[in-house]
Amino acid sequence: MSDQNWVKIERVFDAPIDAVWAMWTDPEMFKTWYGPMGMSVPVAEMDVRVGGTRKISMEMVSPERTMTMWFTGVYKETSAPTRLVYTESMCDADGNLIPPSAMGMPEGHPDITEVIVELHEDGGKTHMTMVHVGVVAGTAGDAGWGQAIDKMGALLAP
């Protein structure tokens, strides 16, 4: 684990910038890749405009139980197709905020985190930098982002 209070992932996709932007902003596209391996996204409500809200549900089904996690947030910046900034907090199915500890997150995990996505196109490829401020590098959240971005890359591959 690290003292770094953010996760940063940089990738180059062999895809146009509009396709990568859609992965982040189209609810149906977002459902196809978001979350770590083994998780599905049954709900992705996204009003992608400054001040618009988002509510996401991740679910993992096992023989013993179904684990569901809900997240909500507000879009702070939406500069299509180059920059997206939104907050993220844990919530219940109705969108009411819940403390991260209620979902088993470690003590000190912030109630509100921030995701910053920056894209630029070069020669038909899209360079993406994603920073999640409030998720500590080297944690399960960091690994989950890596798996999610791998899923996105597979979907964008020619």
Domain ranges, ordered by start, for the chain: 6-156
CA distance 40 to 85: 23
Mean pLDDT throughout 64-70?
Answer: 93
Residues 69-95: pLDDT tens digits?
A: 999 999 999 999 999 999 999 999 999
Provide the pLDDT for residue 1: 46
Do the Cβ atoms of 141 and 27 come closer than 8 Å?
no
Sheet containing 113-122: order of strands: 6-13, 125-133, 113-122, 83-91, 66-79, 53-61, 40-46
Whether residue 65 has pLDDT greater than 90: yes
Question: Is 140 in a helix, a strand, or coil?
Answer: helix
Per-residue pLDDT band at 140 (split at 50, 70, 90): confident
CATH class for the domain made up of 6-156: alpha beta
Q: Read off the pTM.
A: 0.93
